[in-house]
Amino acid sequence: MRILLALVLALAAISANAGPLAPVRDKQLASLVAFQTVLAEKSAGSYSVKVLVAPYRWAECDGTVQSCPDTRLYISVVPDGLGIESRLYRLPDAKKWEFGAWLHINANEDLEPIAFTLKTSLPDSNIEHEERAHFKSITYQIQVNRNGANVAIK
C-alpha cells in the first residue's frame, strides 16, 4: 500500500510540472530535421564527416526543372573529443545531390584529410525529356579536416 501511495504522489508531482510544448518556429530547421537524409558518412580517426541533404519542401516536380523543390546540402565535421566545436558547411542549393566517391589525398598525416566528390543532378521522375537535356550538372570536390574545408568546382 505504501508503494502505491508513493507512486501516486510521484505521478502527481510530475503532472504538476506538465504543460504544452512550444513548437520551434524556424521552418527551415524543422524541414531539415524532418526530411534529412544522410548521403554519406566517414570517420578519419579524430573526427567524422556526414553529408546531409534535405528538400526545402516535400513535393514532386511538375514537368519542368523549375517546378522541382530545391535541396539543401550540408557537410558536418564532428571532432572526437570534448570541448571541440563541430563545424557545418553548406553548398549552394540544387534540385538533387548525388555522392560521387571518396578520394585518396596525399597530405600531412596530422590533418587526416577526407576528400570526396558531390554532383548536382535532377530528380529521376516528372521532368520532361527536353528539360532534362538542357540540364548541366556541376561536380564539387570537397576536402575537409578537423580545422577547415576547401571546395573546387570541376
Q: Which residues contact 45 (CB under 8 A, 6 or more apart)?
A: 80, 112
End-to-end CA distance of the chain: 74
pLDDT of residue 107: 59
| 141 C-beta neighbours (distance < 10 Å), count | 16
Q: Is 152 helix (H, G, I), strand (E, B) or coil?
A: strand
How confident is the model over 23-75, as pLDDT tens digits? 999 988 888 888 899 999 998 878 899 999 998 877 888 888 989 999 999 99
Higher per-residue pLDDT: 35 or 1: 35
* pLDDT > 90 in the chain, percent: 44
CA dist 146 to 19, 88, 115, 138, Å?
41, 11, 12, 26
Integer Rg of the chain from CA: 22
Is residue 60 within 8 Å of 83, Cβ to Cβ? no
Q: Return left, alpha or beta for 81; rule: phi > 0 is left, psi -120 to 50 is alpha, else beta.
A: left
Whether the pLDDT of residue 7 is over 60: the answer is: no
How confident is the model over 108-131, as pLDDT tens digits? 555 678 999 999 999 988 888 898
Q: Which CATH architecture has domain 25-153?
A: Beta Barrel (2.40)
pLDDT of residue 14: 60
CA distance 64 to 60: 11
CA distance 127 to 66: 10
Any long-range contacts for 17-25 (C-beta under 8 Å, 24+ apart)?
A: none
pLDDT of residue 15: 58
Is residue 149 within 8 Å of 143, Cβ to Cβ? yes
